Structure 1
Amino acid sequence: MMTDLFNNSDTLYQAFLARDRSYDGHMFVCVATTGIFCRLSCPARKPGKDHVRFFETAAACLEQGYRPCKKCRPLEPAGQPEPIISNLLARLEQNPDHVWSETDLAKLGLDPSTVRRLFKRHIGMTFLDLARLRRAGRGITALAQGANVIDAQLDAGYDSASGFRDAVTRLLGQPPARLKGRHLLQADWMETPVGAMLAIADRHRLHLLEFFERKALTAEIQRLQKTMNSTVSFGRSPPIDQIEKELAAYFKGESAAFHTPLARHGSPFTCKVWDALTRIPPGVTHSYAQLAQTIGQPTAMRAVARANGANQLAIIIPCHRVIGANGSLTGYAGGLWRKNWLLTHEKRYFPACNSLANSL
């Protein structure tokens, strides 16, 4: 059965007009005038609203007699990185010191303008900007470990001192000299079937895991830096490697268990709510009232809702498993379509957890 969100054709039609990629793999549009069905992000000319119908699965479109679009290829897996992006990201990891240019892209047989558009659409910045950001992150790490500015500049691959200073200041809002000896948090993103996520961790614990589209993400990062009296540099740390592997297992339906060490920045009450959230089994949902009863404070439903919304560790602390008292989906910072997807995924792949919970 479709949720209220997916029955809202006005919302879906506007997403179709905007070519919203966030619905890819979760919603399909059937066009009566052509007899084909597409992803909502399809670049083809848009028909009028009266000529389209929306379905949650490609199978439903096929059952209605619609053919898959040859432009957007809706039968291919959604959420898979573009081969060009995967290739260039791998090259960036293999040779982080290289100073990339459009000439390098052309030598690989790639059109720089195509690469620029792909990276802007999928990651939010161009590949060359990303490469510069990575190099600046290496220099920031060197500064935090005690290197002088010129050594950190050279380690980051910058020939120009002014260019290095500008890159660091744009990235962190602080000149290089103020970063010497500072403890740094590392940040990196990872692709998932429901969109890119940003992970931030120190050497020992994961501090943040959020979807890129979350409107409050910038404010959350600023609060985290203030709380930790630290700053964030792009790079890897053991907790980020671990959560990436655990998320991969989760999305494959192999395991819903997370063992990555977490740093939880909340009041004792908030952490109590988060503990209760982690005890809700996959495939099971609770209302705010049930959650309040679970922590022994049945009248604190509003406070429970605020604590739920303050969660900065998406999926790991499963705030998506809280729904309205009437069974409807309620607000979710990652978007209601993601909440629906996660709940459907868990019921499909972790029925043992669901059955165990219902038997208790």
Structure 2
Amino acid sequence: MGMITAKEKQQEYYQALIEKDRNYDGIFFAGIKTTGIFCHPTCRARKPKMENCEFYQTAEEALLAGYRPCKICQPLSFPQAIPEEVQLLVKAVEEQPEKRWRDSDFAALGLNSTTARRKFKAIYNMTFVQYARARRMGLAFKEISHGSKVIDQQLDTGYESSSGFNDAFTKIMGNSAKKTAVHTLNASFIATPLGRMLCLTDDAYLYLLEFEDRRGLEREIASLRKKYNFRIIYGQTKLNQQVEEQIGEYFNGERTEFSLPLFYDGSPFQKEVWKILETIPMGKTLSYQDIALRLGDKNKVRAVGRANGLNKIAIVIPCHRVIGRDGNLTGYAGGLERKHYLLELEKAQVVSHNKQ
């Protein structure tokens, strides 16, 4: 019996959605393109056509795709009842989805910050910060995904100036106050077995390649926009296509090294660390202490760890190949499950190439 294809899985999920099959509650979430909401399979709302559905394994993926939770089936809480405090928080986020929350904002709603956060995590299986960030970033990511249609329409009518296109992140990060010339970066998404990756390029460099749910991604993007006065819009560049091709080859076991022009946004020390990371062969690892010793100071282990965490170009600059001194997997912002997957993938590739 062969493996189930992605199309067959979609058909299976759609059938479960139509039949309101309770066996699939919690297994997947359905994003409805026509309404912008995502639901549980058992939602009693009118069922859409299959071409208007997108299916996600987690609620965070649906949020990052720009969908908001359905008010009818309340997909994040199944099968539990939702406490009043949590309902209030979800409603407040929807009223201002671009907002960054502080403890004082909880007080303004008459909520105890610690209690409300704890209840939110217990019900939604994600922190409130994680939820609010995913909702914010989902709005920007939706702009990027939708941007291709907008730009195609404008180019069809002969309008080619990128200055007329909106920065996808303006709503949640604001405009740069700098008076210097704006530089445009093109944003697109790359599908991988570990989830979508956000890719930022221009014609010369790859600036950022990160999993869309990475901790700190919002901060990284804000830093780039502010520091270099970047405007980020949807766009396919030749370099972006090269990144997509090489990442695809990597996951397919067809590539052991990358050949991409990288923009290193960091201090001289951080750049030294990243250069060392690029020398770690596939299938091998170094500890933070190993890298500190290579830099000539065994006491810089923490500084190496910080530099490793500030890497904005995942996989290509292989920060996942850095482990703890005791051999434990530590400190990967993309998540330890991804780190384990990448290291195992690379070990298998090395074994395969050695047999050839």
TM interval, short-chain normalised: 0.5 to 0.7
CA contact (8 A) 2:185 2:230 kept: yes
The correspondence of residues 66-81 of structure 1 with structure 2, limited to 5 A, is none
Residues 98-138 of structure 1: per-residue CA shift (max 9 Å, x gap): xx978xxxxx96453x3487997385225995564445566
Q: Which residue of 1 aligns with 2:191?
A: 191
Determine if the alignment matches structure 1 residue 317 to structure 2 residue 317. yes
Q: Which residue of 2 aligns with 1:290?
A: 290
Residues 116-163 of structure 1: per-residue CA shift (max 9 Å, x gap): 87997385225995564445566999999377xxxx5xxx8xxxxxxx
Q: Which residue of 1 aligns with 2:65?
A: 124
Give the secondary structure class of the aligned counterpart of 2:282: coil
CA-CA distance at 1:240 after TM superposition? 1.2
Question: Structure 1 residues 220 and 45 mapped into 2: Cα distance closer, same or farther (>3 Å)?
Answer: closer
Q: Which residue of 2 aligns with 1:145?
A: 161
Q: Which residue of 1 aligns with 2:264?
A: 264
CA contact (8 A) 1:140 1:179 kept: no
Give the secondary structure class of the aligned counterpart of 2:265: coil
Question: Structure 1 residues 291 and 241 mapped into 2: Cα distance closer, same or farther (>3 Å)?
Answer: same
* Count of aligned residue pairs for this structure pair: 245
Higher deviation after alignment, 127-136 or 194-203: 127-136
Q: Which residue of 1 aligns with 2:234?
A: 234
CA contact (8 A) 1:182 1:230 kept: yes
Q: Which residue of 2 aligns with 1:276?
A: 276
Question: Structure 1 residues 310 and 210 mapped into 2: Cα distance closer, same or farther (>3 Å)?
Answer: same
Q: Which residue of 1 aligns with 2:13?
A: none
The correspondence of residues 35-46 of structure 1 with structure 2, limited to 5 A, is 44=24
Residues 203-236 of structure 1: per-residue CA shift (max 9 Å, x gap): 1100001011112111100101112212111111
Question: Structure 1 residues 111 and 255 mapped into 2: Cα distance closer, same or farther (>3 Å)?
Answer: closer
CA contact (8 A) 2:284 2:321 kept: yes
Matched AA of 1:170: K
CA-CA distance at 1:296 after TM superposition? 2.5
**Matches of 2:258 and 2:307, distance apart in 1:** 20
**Matches of 1:320 and 1:196, distance apart in 2:** 17
CA-CA distance at 1:299 after TM superposition? 2.3
Question: Structure 1 residues 305 and 277 mapped into 2: Cα distance closer, same or farther (>3 Å)?
Answer: same
Higher deviation after alignment, 136-145 or 291-300: 136-145
CA-CA distance at 1:246 after TM superposition? 0.6
**Matches of 1:345 and 1:309, distance apart in 2:** 21
**Matches of 2:198 and 2:326, distance apart in 1:** 32
Q: Which residue of 1 aligns with 2:335?
A: 335
Question: Structure 1 residues 230 and 252 mapped into 2: Cα distance closer, same or farther (>3 Å)?
Answer: same
Residues 58-102 of structure 1: per-residue CA shift (max 9 Å, x gap): xxxxxxxxxxxxx89xxxxxxxxxxx99xxxxxxxxxxxxxx978
Question: Structure 1 residues 280 and 135 mapped into 2: Cα distance closer, same or farther (>3 Å)?
Answer: same
**Matches of 1:268 and 1:180, distance apart in 2:** 24
CA contact (8 A) 1:277 1:318 kept: yes
Q: Which residue of 2 aligns with 1:213?
A: 213
Give the secondary structure class of the aligned counterpart of 1:350: helix
CA contact (8 A) 1:143 1:181 kept: no
Q: Structure 2 length normalisation: TM-score?
A: 0.57
**Matches of 2:173 and 2:282, distance apart in 1:** 38
Q: Which runs of 5 or more residues in structure 1 are unaligned?
A: 1-41, 47-70, 73-83, 86-99, 103-107, 157-163, 356-360
Q: Which residue of 2 aligns with 1:105?
A: none
Q: Which runs of 5 or more residues in structure 2 are unaligned?
A: 1-21, 36-47, 68-137
Give the secondary structure class of the aligned counterpart of 2:326: coil
Question: Structure 1 residues 171 and 116 mapped into 2: Cα distance closer, same or farther (>3 Å)?
Answer: farther
The correspondence of residues 10-159 of structure 1 with structure 2, limited to 5 A, is 44=24, 110=50, 112=52, 114-115=53-54, 121=62, 124-125=65-66, 132-135=146-149, 145=161, 152=164
CA contact (8 A) 1:207 1:313 kept: yes
Q: Which residue of 1 aligns with 2:255?
A: 255
Question: Structure 1 residues 143 and 331 mapped into 2: Cα distance closer, same or farther (>3 Å)?
Answer: farther
